Amino acid sequence: MFTEVCRADDAAIARAAQLIREGALVAFPTETVYGLGADALNAAAIPAIFEAKGRPSDNPLISHIADWDALEGLISETPNETACRVMQAFWPGPLTLIFLKGKNVPDAVTAGLDTVAVRFPSHPVAQKLIRAAGTPIAAPSANRSGRPSPTTAQHVAEDMDGRIPMILDGGACGVGLESTVLDVTGERPRILRPGGITKEMLEEVIGEVDVDEGVLGMLREGAQVRSPGMKYRHYAPMGEITIVTGENASRHIAQLYDEAKGTAAILAFSDADYGTRRVYRLTDASGELFSVLRRFDEDGIAQIYAEDVPLGGMGLAVMNRLMRAAAFRVIRAE
């Protein structure tokens, strides 16, 4: 299949919407990461998403809407007060909410769950595409399963060239990490995946919010998986990442680097001095993280030693992604 990469002007968006209506796949920008979209209400269109990504079919998709009325067609109950407050505060934006699923939503979208994930993105191209398609768009991140999520059209092309008919290029994504997934179906709201809307921002609007234990911890064996996406190794470059924490982290990182066999690199969030060693330094930890993970592969890095970041604000989302990329390899250096 030939994959067309198009600047996301109105004509290209109209053609993309036509493809969606015909049951085909289109990659498109959102404010978080690029999505790989299909008509969320067309059961026949959904399997191609899982095929193109190489994604296990038990990992459900987020349905994207671009006006408030579209929510009704996807869910089975009137949103509760918690849901209404966070929607009012953060939609459109990088927040995904879990609701009880309405009967229009195909099982393939929700992987057979009785809940559905819904998001109203703020990116103008995403909104125009959904409106032009006239249907909610089911979309996971547009990476091959196990690769870092794409934050540019170039990243999408690396993973999807030849697999989908069209990529809408809307430039680099602003947030650079995926949306926050918040379960509002239970008694207390619970973050299943930290992301663009922080725990602190949510708590200002709805009071205390739980963080699922799977967000940072290794899932305990046999523990119930609330968000199926959390059980897979994720965002992984081909090189091996080791996170080093603690007071002497930078000294220990330098030492590990010097002892490494093969090409090593340091992923730094602080301004620690590593001399002439090969350092990839992120000042805004969240926005560039996925690009840097991809660059490690391009640069043929075999061993990556990473600093950690404090868990406040976007730090929780950064550490959630980094822990997965590192397959939970963490060393504490006292």
Which residues contribute to the site for Mg ion (CB under 5 A)? 141
- Asked whether position 227 contacts ligand TXA by CB under 6 A, the answer is yes
Q: Which stretch binds ligand TXA (CB under 6 A): 15-23, 227-235, 238-246, 260-268?
A: 227-235
Site residues for ligand TXA, 13-72, by CB under 6 A, read: 30, 32-33, 35, 59-62
Q: Which is nearer to Mg ion, 236 or 265 (CB)?
A: 236
Which of ligand TXA, Mg ion, none does 29 bind, CB closer than 5 to 8 A by kind? none
Which is nearest to 94 in space by CA: 221, 223, 200, 194? 194
Q: Are strands 240-245 and 303-306 parallel, antiparallel or unpaired?
A: parallel
Single-letter code of the amino acid located at 271:
D
Cβ burial of 308 (10 Å; 0-12, 13-18, 19+) is buried
Minimum separation from the CB atom of position 113 to ligand TXA (A): 5
Single-letter code of the amino acid located at 287:
G
Task: Give the tokens for residue 207.
Answer: 């009071």
Q: Which is nearer to ligand TXA, 119 or 155 (CB)?
A: 119
How far the first Cα of the chain sits from its last, in Å, is 53
Q: Are strands 95-100 and 4-7 parallel, antiparallel or unpaired?
A: unpaired
Q: Which is nearer to ligand TXA, 106 or 140 (CB)?
A: 140
Q: What CA–CA distance (Å, rounded) separates 163 from 27?
A: 11
Q: Which is nearer to ligand TXA, 70 or 254 (CB)?
A: 70
Helix ranges, the chain (H): 10-21, 47-53, 81-90, 107-110, 124-133, 153-160, 199-206, 249-259, 289-298, 315-325
Among 16, 160, 181, 215, binds ligand TXA (CB under 6 A): 181
x/- site string to ligand TXA, residues 70 to 109, per CB under 6 A? ------------------------x-x-x-----------
Site of interaction with ligand TXA (CB under 6 A): 30, 32-33, 35, 59-62, 94, 96, 98, 110, 113, 115-117, 119, 139-141, 178-179, 181, 192-193, 227-229
